[in-house]
């Protein structure tokens, strides 16, 4: 692994706690983010020569805090320095910081950052986008892809969200129990998007992006400790664990994508599956179903099937139909169509997704699924057109390679490509 690789992983893993602590010190999102970015630049210069610090988050907080104060002093000719009480005392000692991060301050800082990003003054999409950008440091392009919108539109959305947080004079303290409950759904949605950002990474990105899955799971565990009787948080954590359990089987030795039905199920993480199933069972006993519990139930059906042929596709179809009623979405319908394809055939599946073409015109998985349905129906030229669209929209090399194998199966593609 190169210096840049391990440093990138370290910075990604430390970002949430470092930005959260800097936000507590400076009480301004832009200042905290700028201080963290300056600390990252200094890490890129310092760490390759001197090696990693004992605690990367503590080092970044210390350096970022000092950089932020220095920047404020440089602006002092034009602007007054913040009041002393607005800057928390921070000993210039990495060891003391590390001890704090192991205690309650770490938990409170993370939650404070999550809840500020998910403040009710922001629209829901703005809450999630801002949290993805600030907490996890995802690029605007990747966030835009998750929302199926253009990069410039997402940049504007995040800028507006930051502006509204600043104008709202948001209190930089963790909210009380009632307010936490109101914001819980936005925080949960953001954490699941963070998880998906790591889970959907290609084989060549797995090592760098895998910490996102671990971070999302860790933060969801933290939320569950705060909301121990909330079935949707149990369902969310169960869903993450059940999906993450398949990570080792999702790519072959050459980095090619392996579909769920073709995966080596002996490579799935059975202890993780056991924990996920137990959480789901506990959530369902509350008799308060929600979207995450339904999605976890789908993942559980896959996990319980000893072989792909034993998968209960009619039940998965039923679960997605329930999810459509609870949380209508073109992507939910597309997922249901895969279950319909397995349970009732390509004709019914194709009829289900045809109305989605306008909404999902820029979505890789729509064109890949449509191509598969058309291929099964023997409509080869239409299938080829859909697969070509999917390749153009592929987000990873593994996705593109898989679609090329589907094209090869149509016949004649190799000759066309070589000519």
pLDDT digits (tens, 9 = 90+) for 6-49: 888 888 878 888 888 888 888 888 888 899 999 999 999 889 88
Say if residue 72 is in the same domain as residue 150: no
Partnered with residue 90 across adjacent β-strands are: none
- Are 220 and 240 within 8 A, CB to CB? yes
pLDDT at residue number 348: 97
Q: Is the pLDDT of residue 201 over 50?
A: yes
Say if residue 219 is in the same domain as residue 120: yes
Confirm whether 172 is domain-assigned.
yes
Structural domain boundaries, residue 193: 103-228
Confirm whether 154 is domain-assigned.
yes
Say if residue 124 is in the same domain as residue 159: yes
Instruction: Specify the residue for token string 């390759």.
Output: 48
- CA 347/CA 329 separation, integer angstroms: 21
Confirm whether 356 is domain-assigned.
no
Determine which helix (DSSP H) or strand (DSSP E) holds 207, and give its type and residue range: helix 206-226
Q: Is the pLDDT of residue 102 over 50?
A: no
| Reported confidence tier of residue 267, pLDDT bands at 50, 70, 90 | very high
Instruction: Specify the residue for token string 């190799």.
Output: 414
Per-residue pLDDT of 281-332, as tens digits, reads 999 999 999 999 999 999 999 999 999 999 999 999 999 999 999 999 999 9
Highest mean pLDDT among 74-88, 164-178, 241-255, 286-300: 286-300
Say if residue 141 is in the same domain as residue 192: yes
Confirm whether 388 is domain-assigned.
no
Confirm whether 214 is domain-assigned.
yes
| Reported confidence tier of residue 98, pLDDT bands at 50, 70, 90 | very low
Instruction: Specify the residue for token string 């999605």.
Output: 295
- CA 194/CA 213 separation, integer angstroms: 7
Task: Look at the chain and report how many structural domains it folds into.
Answer: 2
Q: Which residue has the higher pLDDT, 211 or 229?
A: 229
Reduced to 3 states (helix: H, G, I; strand: E, B; else coil), residue 251 is strand
């Amino acid at each position: 692994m190169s210096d840049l690789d391990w440093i990138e992983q370290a910075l990604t893993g430390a970002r949430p706690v470092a930005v959260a602590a800097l936000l507590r010190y400076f009480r301004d999102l832009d200042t905290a983010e700028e201080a963290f970015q300056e600390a990252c630049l200094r890490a890129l210069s310092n760490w390759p020569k001197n090696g990693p610090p004992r605690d990367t988050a503590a080092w970044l907080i210390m350096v970022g805090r000092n950089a932020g104060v220095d920047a404020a002093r440089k602006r002092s000719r034009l602007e007054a320095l913040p009041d002393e009480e607005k800057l928390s005392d921070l000993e210039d000692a990495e060891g003391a910081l590390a001890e704090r991060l192991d205690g309650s301050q770490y938990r409170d800082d993370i939650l404070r950052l999550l809840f500020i990003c998910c403040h009710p003054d922001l629209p829901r999409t703005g809450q999630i986008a801002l949290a993805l950008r600030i907490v996890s440091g995802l690029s605007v392009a990747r966030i835009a892809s998750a929302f199926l919108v253009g990069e410039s539109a997402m940049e504007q959305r995040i800028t507006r969200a930051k502006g509204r947080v600043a104008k709202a004079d948001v209190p930089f303290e963790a909210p009380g129990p009632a307010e936490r409950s109101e914001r819980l759904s936005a925080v949960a949605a953001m954490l699941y998007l963070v998880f998906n950002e790591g889970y959907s990474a290609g084989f060549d990105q797995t090592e760098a992006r895998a910490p996102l899955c671990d971070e999302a799971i860790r933060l969801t565990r933290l939320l569950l400790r705060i909301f121990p009787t909330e079935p949707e948080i149990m369902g969310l954590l169960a869903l993450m664990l059940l999906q993450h359990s398949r990570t080792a089987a999702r790519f072959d030795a050459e980095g090619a994508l392996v579909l769920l039905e073709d995966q080596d199920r002996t490579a799935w993480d059975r202890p993780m599956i056991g924990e996920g199933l137990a959480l789901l069972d506990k959530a369902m006993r509350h008799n308060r179903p929600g979207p995450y519990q339904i999605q976890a139930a789908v993942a559980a059906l896959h996990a319980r099937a000893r072989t792909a042929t034993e998968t209960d596709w009619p039940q998965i179809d039923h679960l997605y139909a329930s999810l459509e009623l609870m949380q209508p979405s073109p992507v939910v319908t597309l997922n249901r169509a895969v279950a319909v394809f397995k349970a009732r055939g390509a004709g019914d599946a194709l009829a289900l997704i045809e109305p989605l073409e306008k909404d999902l015109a820029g979505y890789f998985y729509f064109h890949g699924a449509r191509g598969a349905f058309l291929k099964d129906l023997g409509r080869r030229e239409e299938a080829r057109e859909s697969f070509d669209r999917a390749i153009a929209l592929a987000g990873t090399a593994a996705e593109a390679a898989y679609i090329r194998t589907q094209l090869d199966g149509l016949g004649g593609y190799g000759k066309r490509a070589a000519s």
